[in-house]
Amino acid sequence: MTENSSRTRTWRVGAVLCAAGAAPAGPHEIAVGPDGCIADLLPVSPEDLTREEASLIAMPALANAHDHGRGLPTLACGIADAPLEQWMVNLARQPKVDPYDTAALAFARMAGSGIGAVYHCHNTQVGSALLQEAEAVSRAARDVGIRVAFGWPFFDANPMVYGSHAALAEMFPPQQREAVATMDRALRDCATNMALFDEARAFEHAGFALHYHPVAPQWAKPETLRAIARASAETGRRVHTHLLETRLQREWADHHFPDGFVNWLDAMGLLSPRLTVAHGVWLRRDEIDLLAQRGVTVSVNVSSNLRLRSGLPPLSDMQSGKVPFGLGLDGMALDDDQDMLRELRLAHLMLTQPCRHEEGPVARPDATATLHAAWEDGRRAILGADGGGRITAGAPADILFLDRVAMASDYLEGLPADPEWLLSRATRAHVAHLLVAGREVVRHGRVAGVDEAALQDRLVAAARAARAKSPPDAGQISLTAEATLAFYAKGLHCGEA
Ligand SMILES: [Zn+2]
């Protein structure tokens, strides 16, 4: 990399993938202006490249379209992967740790796997400390240097199960029933939360923006969803919600909205090009078509769906229904390592399997849909239409450089440039550099803005100390697990609203 007097920096690479669907281009010089955008892209002669430059392939930085920014993975907290509703009960095992450290470590890991932008659905550790936690996440975003959309949580319904907490209370010992039946009273109401949201706007900066995040339709009151739809229409701010992640959520929705659940969301004005819905595992084809008509984006989280036994996302329906979709890790990557490149591989393999009704010639696998999700549609769910997700003059300089020599050390000839080849093997181990708005967020595989190893040591030590000081109430957790299991087994989520 060289720097000249106008502070335009140039990067030379052996190959470039400029956009999803475009053929790989050969050796190029990419100029990045002081405004953080790509100033120019010029072909160069292969002889002018060093060995290291020739090894690099440049492409748009990846977008992680749904995550929760957990520096300490749930497995580390002793929370086994299990169906979502059972897994969530065990989240009470998470120790309370510093919100800056947990977000900074999560963002650093993401940067190290080539992620330049993330949608962060915030789960509070301490509900009353949401404002302070948001400030800490904002600082972590600035220090690490990736772009973060912060999903401001609106959670004011069904705290423990989808349905009547009075019915759930019957599953608990008599002395706990009152508290279980009335636990929703402790949830923050929409008006108070909107006022806090306005205060938190002070934490916004070029790499950190607030979005409305009704956690899911079953976890927000209808009037809260309506207020968010109105606020989004007035301000243009984006909305992001979990939607139909599990079979139990599908059953709850079908029983409570017999005239159509997604239609109901549409009638209150929630479906718009500003909306992203996460998961959508149990969406039906007509619902996917309606989302597509309204310009809604889906965030698909394949590894998370597999690990939490939610089911397989209906990718072929999404593809044929032409609903835009991005890809997310949801903090639950296949190998629990936040490897976005491996997530791309998994999504790509799923997207290119044959369908049972297919006939005629067998198509060659095409990486376009996967890369479009990872570069453009996922990014739009996070940042709106900012012209990014492409390597072209004028676009934000959010660029991922992979080391092809490291990736292809056993190849008999040549270095891969075809995206199909890259998706077959690339992992976070091959991330050489990452630029976000022209800033070197990762240099030679190391995150520049924070000390990732020190953060990890500090976070694990603090979590162990917190665990020793106040161990989880294992008895209460298993009581709650049994009660919720019995609630759903009796079909009470399909009972009275
Ligand atoms: Zn999630």
User: pLDDT digit string (tens) for 85-138?
Assistant: 999 999 999 999 999 999 999 999 999 999 999 999 999 998 899 999 999 999
Task: Please tell me the distance between residue 68's alpha carbon and the centre of ligand 1 in angstroms.
Answer: 6
Task: Please tell me the distance between residue 67's alpha carbon and the centre of ligand 1 in angstroms.
Answer: 6
Q: Do residues 442 and 111 touch, judged by C-beta distance below 8 A?
A: yes
Residue 177 has pLDDT above 80, yes or no: yes
pLDDT at residue 6, rounded to an integer: 64
Residue 285 one-letter amino acid: R
Task: Please tell me the distance between residue 358's alpha carbon and the centre of ligand 1 in angstroms.
Answer: 33
Task: Please tell me the distance between residue 96's alpha carbon and the centre of ligand 1 in angstroms.
Answer: 19
User: pLDDT digit string (tens) for 242-285?
Assistant: 999 999 999 999 999 999 999 999 999 999 999 999 999 999 99
User: pLDDT digit string (tens) for 25-49?
Assistant: 999 999 999 999 999 999 999 999 9
Average pLDDT, the chain: 96
Residue 309 has pLDDT above 50, yes or no: yes
Task: Please tell me the distance between residue 32's alpha carbon and the centre of ligand 1 in angstroms.
Answer: 34
Task: Please tell me the distance between residue 330's alpha carbon and the centre of ligand 1 in angstroms.
Answer: 5
Q: Do residues 220 and 192 touch, judged by C-beta distance below 8 A?
A: no
Task: Please tell me the distance between residue 74's alpha carbon and the centre of ligand 1 in angstroms.
Answer: 13
CA distances (Å), origin 264, targets 157, 227, 232, 255: 17, 15, 17, 13
> In order of start, what are the domains of the chain with their CATH numbers?
2-60+390-447 (2.30.40.10), 62-355+364-383 (3.20.20.140)
- Give mean pLDDT, residues 455-470: 97
Task: Please tell me the distance between residue 278's alpha carbon and the centre of ligand 1 in angstroms.
Answer: 7
Task: Please tell me the distance between residue 153's alpha carbon and the centre of ligand 1 in angstroms.
Answer: 11
Task: Please tell me the distance between residue 381's alpha carbon and the centre of ligand 1 in angstroms.
Answer: 14
Task: Please tell me the distance between residue 41's alpha carbon and the centre of ligand 1 in angstroms.
Answer: 37
Q: Do residues 64 and 329 touch, judged by C-beta distance below 8 A?
A: yes
Task: Please tell me the distance between residue 280's alpha carbon and the centre of ligand 1 in angstroms.
Answer: 11
Task: Please tell me the distance between residue 106's alpha carbon and the centre of ligand 1 in angstroms.
Answer: 14
pLDDT at residue 496, rounded to an integer: 54
CA distances (Å), origin 322, targets 271, 294, 297: 16, 11, 10
Burial category of 23 from C-beta neighbours within 10 Å (exposed 0-12, middle 13-18, buried 19 and up): exposed
Task: Please tell me the distance between residue 265's alpha carbon and the centre of ligand 1 in angstroms.
Answer: 19
Task: Please tell me the distance between residue 14's alpha carbon and the centre of ligand 1 in angstroms.
Answer: 37
Task: Please tell me the distance between residue 54's alpha carbon and the centre of ligand 1 in angstroms.
Answer: 39
Task: Please tell me the distance between residue 214's alpha carbon and the centre of ligand 1 in angstroms.
Answer: 12
Task: Please tell me the distance between residue 216's alpha carbon and the centre of ligand 1 in angstroms.
Answer: 10
- Closest by alpha carbon to 152, among 223, 226, 218, 204? 204
Task: Please tell me the distance between residue 297's alpha carbon and the centre of ligand 1 in angstroms.
Answer: 15
d(CA 206, CA 408): 37
Structure tokens at 91: 């989240």
User: pLDDT digit string (tens) for 388-425?
Assistant: 999 999 999 999 999 999 999 899 988 989 999 999 99
Q: Do residues 40 and 73 touch, judged by C-beta distance below 8 A?
A: no
Q: Do residues 208 and 193 touch, judged by C-beta distance below 8 A?
A: no
- Closest by alpha carbon to 440, among 144, 18, 58, 69? 144
Inter-axis angle of helices 190-200 and 130-144, nearest 10 = 30
Q: What is the DSSP letter of 185?
A: G
- Give mean pLDDT, residues 334-348: 97
Residue 5 has pLDDT above 50, yes or no: no
Could you tell me the pLDDT band of residue 355, with boundaries at 50, 70 and 90?
confident
Task: Please tell me the distance between residue 294's alpha carbon and the centre of ligand 1 in angstroms.
Answer: 22
Task: Please tell me the distance between residue 121's alpha carbon and the centre of ligand 1 in angstroms.
Answer: 7
Q: What percent of the chain has pLDDT over 90?
A: 94
User: pLDDT digit string (tens) for 195-249?
Assistant: 999 999 999 999 999 999 999 999 999 999 999 999 999 999 999 999 999 999 9
Task: Please tell me the distance between residue 215's alpha carbon and the centre of ligand 1 in angstroms.
Answer: 9
Task: Please tell me the distance between residue 357's alpha carbon and the centre of ligand 1 in angstroms.
Answer: 32
